[in-house]
Amino acid sequence: MNQAIISAATEGGTNPLVPNPWEMLVVFAGFALLMFIVVKYVVPMFEKTFAERAEAIEGGIAKAEKAQAEASAALEEYKQQLTEARTEANRIREEARAEGAQILAELKEKAAAESARITAQAHTQIESERQAAVVSLRAEVGTLATTLASRIVGEALSDDARSARVVDRFLADLENQNAGVAK
Which residue ranges make up the site for other proteins (CB under 8 A)?
Answer: 1, 4-5, 8-9, 11-12, 14, 16-24, 26-28, 30-31, 33-35, 37-39, 41-43, 45-50, 52-53, 56
Quote the least distance from Cβ 91 to other proteins, whole Å. Answer: 55
Quote the least distance from Cβ 59 to other proteins, whole Å. Answer: 11
Quote the least distance from Cβ 46 to other proteins, whole Å. Answer: 5
Quote the least distance from Cβ 21 to other proteins, whole Å. Answer: 7
Query: What is the rounded distance in angstroms from the CA atom of residue 44 to the CA atom of residue 102?
Result: 85
Among residues 5 and 179, whose Cβ is nearest to other proteins?
5
Among residues 27 and 164, whose Cβ is nearest to other proteins?
27
Among residues 39 and 113, whose Cβ is nearest to other proteins?
39
Quote the least distance from Cβ 92 to other proteins, whole Å. Answer: 56
Among residues 32 and 148, whose Cβ is nearest to other proteins?
32
Q: In the 3-class helix/strand/coil scheme, how is the chain assigned residue by residue?
A: CHHHHHHHHHHHCCCCCCCCHHHHHHHHHHHHHHHHHHHHHHHHHHHHHHHHHHHHHHHHHHHHHHHHHHHHHHHHHHHHHHHHHHHHHHHHHHHHHHHHHHHHHHHHHHHHHHHHHHHHHHHHHHHHHHHHHHHHHHHHHHHHHHHHHHHHHCCCCCCHHHHHHHHHHHHHHHHHHHHHHHC
Among residues 33 and 148, whose Cβ is nearest to other proteins?
33
